[in-house]
């Protein structure tokens, strides 16, 4: 067992944690912005954009990865523009891992943010407007603090989804050891090689992380409910 850990390559865990963390930050702010804009949109506009923002959640990750691969390929306008003007390459890079994970995980943050915003009493916002507060201050000083439990749970779940992303990441970033090889890709690769011991180890690691995340979300939401009950009393 000691020899197993001494020879173990920890890069899949490091790459996965880095990808999950960066993707969660990106999705957090994009999710807040998208949810805030959707709340102000009309019914038809809301229906269309809500469908677009939620789409990565319902289509196969490999389909999303294929679309991203076409979008960021150096042979396509966007990919060519990024490489020629900024020397930025997305395909077969760690940046590809982040983009793929962010796209797939984004709907979780968006849906949680929207649900949190919808639960806010509109009278509070109206009262803030009568006091002369700007929309920006109302959003950051009132709306976000009230919606904080839902936003935090969304961010945690987004991190978990990005951490375990496989389909889109494998399509866009590939599986380059020490560079783009995440835990999910490592499990798939060693399973093909018949190394069930190593696959089992990484599976246990993922399960432990996922369980810790679920417990954290439940504790966070439970604390929020208790605070609301105490305030009503």
DSSP string, 45-88: HHHHHHHHHHHHHHS-HHHHHHHHHHHH-TTSHHHHHHHHHH--
Look at residue 158 and tell me whether its pLDDT is greater than 90: yes
Higher pLDDT, 231 or 25: 25
213: Cα within 13 Å, side-chain hemisphere: 22
Mean pLDDT for the stretch of residues 172-185: 90
Share of the chain residues as helix, strand and coil, in percent rounded to the nearest 5? 80, 0, 20
- Return the number of other C-beta atoms located less than 10 Å from residue 25's C-beta: 15
Which of 69, 86, 41, 72 lies closest to 168, judged by CA?
A: 69
Q: What is the DSSP string of 81-115?
A: HHHHHH----TTSHHHHHHHHHHHHHHHHHHHHHH
Q: What is the pLDDT of residue 224?
A: 62
DSSP state of 231: H
Which of 60, 79, 69 lies closest to 100, judged by CA?
A: 69
Q: What is the pLDDT of residue 215?
A: 87
Mean pLDDT for the stretch of residues 149-176: 91
Query: What are the extents of the domains in the chain?
Result: 7-232
Report the distance separating Cα 34 and Cα 31, nearest Å: 5
CATH of domain 7-232: 1.10.3720.10
Rounded mean pLDDT of the chain?
Answer: 89
Report the distance separating Cα 162 and Cα 20, nearest Å: 5
Q: What is the pLDDT of residue 149?
A: 86
Look at residue 73 and tell me whether its pLDDT is greater than 70: yes
Chain centroid to Cα 191, Å, comes to 26
Q: What is the pLDDT of residue 8?
A: 84
Q: What is the pLDDT of residue 172?
A: 93
Q: What is the pLDDT of residue 226?
A: 62
Q: What is the pTM of this model?
A: 0.88
Which of 208, 218, 106, 97 lies closest to 158, judged by CA?
A: 106
Q: What is the pLDDT of residue 230?
A: 57
Q: 18 in helix, strand or coil?
A: helix
Distance in Å from the first CA to the final CA of the chain: 55
pLDDT band with cut points at 50, 70 and 90 for residue 6: confident
Q: What is the pLDDT of residue 228?
A: 59
Q: What is the pLDDT of residue 219?
A: 83
Q: What is the pLDDT of residue 40?
A: 85
- The share of the chain scoring above pLDDT 70, in percent, equals 95
Q: If you count them, how many residues does the chain have?
A: 233
Report the distance separating Cα 166 and Cα 187, nearest Å: 10
């Amino acid at each position: 067992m000691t020899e197993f850990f001494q020879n173990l390559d920890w890069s899949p865990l490091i790459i996965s944690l880095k990808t999950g963390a960066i993707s969660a930050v990106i999705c957090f702010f994009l999710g807040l912005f998208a949810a805030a804009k959707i709340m102000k949109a009309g019914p038809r506009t809301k229906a269309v954009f809500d469908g677009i923002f939620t789409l990565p959640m319902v289509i196969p990750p490999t389909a999303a990865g294929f679309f991203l691969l076409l979008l960021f390929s150096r042979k396509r306008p966007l990919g060519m523009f990024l490489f020629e003007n900024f020397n930025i390459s997305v395909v077969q890079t760690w940046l590809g891992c982040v983009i793929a994970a962010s796209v797939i995980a984004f709907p979780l943050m968006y849906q949680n943010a929207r649900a949190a915003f919808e639960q806010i009493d509109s009278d509070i916002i109206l009262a803030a407007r009568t006091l002369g507060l700007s929309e920006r201050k109302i959003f950051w000083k009132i709306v976000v603090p009230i919606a904080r439990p839902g936003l935090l749970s969304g961010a945690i779940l987004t991190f978990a989804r990005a951490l375990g992303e496989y389909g889109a990441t494998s399509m866009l970033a590939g599986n380059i050891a020490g560079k783009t090889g995440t835990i999910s890709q490592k499990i798939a690769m060693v399973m093909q090689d018949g190394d069930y011991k190593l696959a089992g180890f990484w599976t246990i690691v993922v399960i432990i992380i996922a369980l810790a995340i679920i417990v954290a979300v439940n504790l966070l939401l439970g604390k929020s409910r208790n605070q609301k009950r105490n305030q009503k009393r």
